[in-house]
Amino acid sequence: MSKNNCSYCQKKSEPSYKEYEVMSKYLTQRGKIVSRERSGMCARHQRRLAQEIKKARFLALLPYVVYET
Ligand SMILES: [Zn+2]
């Protein structure tokens, strides 16, 4: 049985677009969502996070694409 490294499970919290600053650390430098292998997130929270990131993007809290400068 593998250890659950999901930070949302550990904190017993849910991803929320209101916490876009927390979610932003699950984005790569280019603004893509990091893979589950790298984030250690469980499938449920990964799905939830993707939904909330979409919401945050729609509200312009997070960028769609980060252009390299
Ligand atoms: Zn989880």
Residue 68 is assigned to a structural domain of this protein: no
The confidence score (pLDDT) of residue 2 equals 55
Check pLDDT > 90 for residue 4.
no
Q: How far is the CA of 33 from the centre of ligand 1 (A)?
A: 15
- The average pLDDT across 41-45 equals 95
Using the Cα atoms of residue 43, residue 40, residue 7 and residue 23 in order, give the sign of their dihedral.
negative
Task: Give the environment of ion ligand 1: residues with CB less than 5 A.
Answer: 6, 8-9, 42, 45
Residue 47 is assigned to a structural domain of this protein: yes
pTM: 0.83
What range does the domain containing 20 cover? 7-58
Contact in structure between 33 and 26 (CB atoms under 8 Å): yes
Q: How far is the CA of 59 from the centre of ligand 1 (A)?
A: 24
The confidence score (pLDDT) of residue 61 equals 93
- The average pLDDT across 16-38 equals 91
Q: How far is the CA of 18 from the centre of ligand 1 (A)?
A: 18
Check pLDDT > 70 for residue 69.
no
Percent helix, strand, coil in the chain (nearest 5)? 50, 5, 45
Number of domains the chain contains: 1
CATH at 24: 4.10.640.10
